[in-house]
Amino acid sequence: MVCLILFCVPAWSSFIDGQTISSLVPKGYAILDTVTGDLNLDANIDAILILKIKSEKDTSTADRPLLILEGISKDKYKLAGRNDHIVFCTSCGGAMGDPYHGATIENGSFAIMHYGGSAWRWTQIIMFTYQAKTGKYILLSDAGDSFNSTEPNKIKVIKNQKKNWGKISFEDYSNDHD
């Protein structure tokens, strides 16, 4: 918590600019993953910060917040967005375990990758891209595939929320499928 003259705001609030990555981690959370690159195409290094609850167990269904941090100077960031519905929980991968498989940043876009299942395996890659015109991160795609491990060459391509591609903002994205 950071207390300003009249009110207190959480350390992850967008009111506070110029913070280090570690100072933007809310109390009770730990960093699961950090990926850096140029998200908003301004030549500053930005970051995707994926958090987990410190007490997370293999059976946890707790949200895993994803924070977009835009670089404003060397090792200083401002919070550009937060979404708690993109990175799957640690028990959401079924028999395959934790489904979080990594994140990437490239050319003003970022992707969050998941992999899970049992005999039936699945992947899901959720991508967002920066729109300079609006200054927002918009859903680029939400897709993956599914296959039976006994027939790995029979892959079914899955396109989730296709009607929302290019329309829904990062903050408004939810993993509810149409």
pLDDT tens, position by position, 144-161: 999 999 999 999 999 999
Q: Is the pLDDT of residue 6 over 60?
A: no
Asked if 128 and 106 count as a contact pair (C-beta separation under 8 A), the reply is no
Query: Rg (Cα) of the chain, in Å, rounded?
Result: 17
Q: Is the pLDDT of residue 13 over 60?
A: no
Q: What pairs with residue 113 in β-bridges?
A: 102, 125
Kindly report the pTM of this predicted structure.
Answer: 0.86
Instruction: State the DSSP code for 43.
Output: S
φ, ψ of residue 151 to 5 degrees: the values are -135, 65
pLDDT, mean over the chain: 88
E strand segments, the chain: 2-3, 8-9, 29-37, 46-53, 64-73, 76-87, 100-106, 109-117, 120-131, 136-148, 156-159
